[in-house]
Chain A
């Protein structure tokens, strides 16, 4: 159980275009989803926290107009990178959380590698 999927697994796009990444919880209802970005050989950096049916909460320094997050259902959250530029190239990872034994563990997706040319 507790499986999280992401689509696509990798995407290459031209500078200036927008890219949408989907994150799905396959066998549980995720009341909260998190979006992370990971640059090569670095740790995961939280970008935003998304609760179903409400606006995402962005971390300091993350542009909410550039990284649009939608969490329309308990099993799906999307991250749209708008007007992507080469510096947005990174590994984007989502995680989903559900209540379990009073502690909200996070289950991570497999990640999406974005390359902006």
Chain B
């Protein structure tokens, strides 16, 4: 089955700096890669996703890149703000047109310091 690794497990940055979180996946058939933000005591929220037919996607301060050959994808957050502090999870799935299972990474706890 799919295996997703995520690094780093914790990340501290100064407000205004950039944060990068990296994930690798094992199943070359995976074609959908969402990123979730989870605040304490809450469910995960989708913040951005990318499909295997594109290499990069950007939404304001958040961007995701995908390297299918190397089987890794990364989340980039620019101009970090204190409210970006949370746990971030990457995930991978094989989308075949019907609902598909997500395999999650182990999570990255991001702390943005004032």
Cα A51 to Cα B101 in complex, Å, equals 12
The reply to whether B89 and A105 contact each other, CB–CB distance below 8 Å, is no
Question: Which residues of chain A are near B107, meaning CB under 8 Å?
Answer: 42-43
Interface of A is mostly: strand
| Chain B residues with a Cβ under 8 A of chain A | 32, 34, 36, 41-46, 49, 51, 89, 95, 97-102, 104-107
- For A78-117 the 0/1 string (1 means CB < 8 A from B) is 0000000000000001010100001111111111010000
The reply to whether A108 and B51 contact each other, CB–CB distance below 8 Å, is no
Q: Which of B41, B43, B89, B105 contacts A109 (CB 8 A)?
A: B43
- Could you tell me the distance in whole angstroms from the C-beta of B108 to the nearest C-beta in chain A? 11
Question: Which residues of chain B are near A77, meaning CB under 8 Å?
Answer: none
The reply to whether A106 and B102 contact each other, CB–CB distance below 8 Å, is yes
The reply to whether B101 and A44 contact each other, CB–CB distance below 8 Å, is no
User: Can you list 18 A-B pairs with a CB-CB distance of less than 8 A?
Assistant: A6-B43, A34-B99, A34-B102, A43-B89, A43-B104, A43-B106, A44-B89, A46-B101, A49-B99, A102-B97, A104-B97, A105-B34, A105-B46, A106-B99, A106-B102, A108-B36, A108-B46, A111-B43
